[in-house]
Structure 1
């Protein structure tokens, strides 16, 4: 084939590749992406602006007008000054959320992986009932369980403390189901039977064979449990509101909004610190950073873990 023929073929393939249908799909994807990206960019830009520019309506393109690092420094000083005395409640809320998210995630891993292995590879009485109960607990709304959990924690006098919330967050049925699917699809029954013939017990099989092939499952359970714990609102609201120092960032953001002159002028009138839209935007953006870090750290395993449950052809 001559060089000119190859060039003509390449142009023909390129022309067919950018047909009207493909162009339309790409255009739709760009429009949908812009619908999500533009509000996020504008919201992040709000943290770099000041209230005067916002009130004057000098937004600029995509709300990027009047941005300055000095505005961020001022907004941060206002956020950290919120609270009695010298403030510092916002930082404490971040620390509390990290403690609960990490502790609850570790407990979820410790409970979910062995439970998923047992449901997938052990044969015991009422196994299907336990699997059904796991699925039922997974789809049950969290709000249904808030009042019973509050009554139980109140019965032991631990309302307002972090440790019972961390233990409850370790109960993660979705992690059990993910582990169950993982061991069902990546751990052949023949491998388990061969290990049993070699004299290994079930605990040894789990630790010596199951865990080494469970990196994707560990990443999935850890990521989803961390996100669920970090964004959990109703459970900390019911169990931690009696102690201002032990609140989480999910409750704290609501408290910052409720103390802003934009939403509650009566409450804000008695505060030395005034929080307006740039301060609230900065507080929200900072609260999303741990989630972004966890996502970036687990991204490689999350992409591989998308095939958990898939069947090879």
Structure 2
């Protein structure tokens, strides 16, 4: 009981304890989207270096083709000379030595059309058969193909020369065409591509509908094999177009030379007694030689890229 007039003493109040701070959580990392590849500075630098490594020789070739014989010696390699002689060099290239450059160009086209075209056809037929048919000795064929891919072509040049000399085929176009028909890498590439690009069920459906094997191949399988076919055609074309060592040991007659061997003969001409230096024609001829390959790669780029990527993703 409290007396009147007196007040209760205030009770001491305790301050509320501060709440512990919530732990700071790291911001969740944004998941990497497959459609947006990560940027890499090192990879960008390496790509730029490789781009320069690839384009600088081509740039030098284009610039040097605009110079005269004297301009090649008095000017900087990566800059133009005072005299722009590109058209004169092209004209002189096709008229020098009675127009033998045109003959070399036709020879190269012959070797490419028959040799590289035949190699592509055989690779497509062989790759499709190995991918879609079972037969005894298939594993042995696979081992032979892989072994042939590993053997460099220069190692077979001398045995091929000895065999062709026995048959009397040296110094003839057949000495270049027949070896070019064999492309182990093209066969292996078409083998792998046909196994993924041509569904077995589709071929069985064509057979059930009454199509023969040839009709099923040309009307059903061959359109599906178009990207791989173009890829093999590009590889065999480049290999035949740039072939140097095989014609060097097989051919003696300059009338059957390809472009590679003919330009090499012009380049060595200055070192012979009384020989004329025609380095401007060698450079211009080299530019004319690579122009068709560049055009082929640019025109068939979409087929080539799709052919290389085929089979990389399995659904």
Q: TM-score range by the shorter chain?
A: 0.7 to 0.9
Change (3 A) 1:67 1:199: farther
Query: Which position in structure 2 is the counterpart of 1:75?
Result: 89
Q: Unmatched 5+ residue regions in structure 1? A: 1-20
1:224-272 deviations in Å (ceiling 9; x for gaps): 11111101112111212x2110011111121111113xxx1xx1x434x
> Corresponding residue for 2:289?
287
C-alpha contact (below 8 Å) 2:115/2:181 kept by paired residues: yes
**Structure 1 residue 24: Cα displacement:** 5.9
Among candidates 146, 156, 159, match of residue 157 of structure 2:
146
The Cα shift of 1:196 comes to: 4.1
Which is helix-richer, 1 or 2?
Answer: 1
Largest Rg, 1 or 2: 2
The match for 1:50 among 57, 61, 68 is 68
Runs of 4+ in 1 over 6 A off after TM superposition: none
CA displacement at 1:77 relative to structure 2:
4.7
RMSD of the alignment, in Å?
2.3
Secondary structure of the corresponding residue to residue 64 of structure 1: coil
Match 2:301 to one of 296, 299, 302: 299
Question: Counterparts of 2:50 and 2:176 in 1: how far apart (Å)?
Answer: 38
Instruction: Name the counterpart of 2:220.
Output: 209
Q: Is 1:39 matched up with 2:21?
A: no
Matched with 1:249 is 259
**C-alpha separation in 2, matches of 1:24 and 1:183:** 37
CA offset at residue 75 of structure 1?
2.8
8 Å contact 1:114–1:206 — kept in the other structure? no
Other structure's SS at 2:309 match: coil
Paired with 1:147 and 1:250, the residues of 2 have a C-alpha distance of 19
TM-score, normalised to structure 1, is 0.80
Q: Does the aligned pair in 2 maintain the 1:185–1:311 contact within 8 Å?
A: no
SS in 2 for 1:259: helix
**Number of residue equivalences:** 277
Q: In 2, Cα distance between the equivalents of 1:190 and 1:155?
A: 49
1:54–1:110 CA distance, 2 compared to 1 (3 A): closer
Question: Where does residue 193 of structure 2 map in the other structure?
Answer: 182
Deviations 1:62-84 (A, max 9, x none): 72231544x2244335434544x
- Distance change in 2, residues 1:293/1:35 (3 Å): closer
Q: Does 1:274 align with 2:301?
A: no
SS of alignment partner, residue 81 of structure 2: coil
Q: Matches of 1:81 and 1:122 in 2, distance apart?
A: 54
Does the aligned pair in 2 maintain the 1:112–1:172 contact within 8 Å? Answer: yes
Structure 1 SS opposite 2:134: coil
Once residues 41 and 167 of structure 2 are traced to their aligned partners in structure 1, the CA distance between those partners, rounded to angstroms, is 63
1:308 aligns with 2:313: no
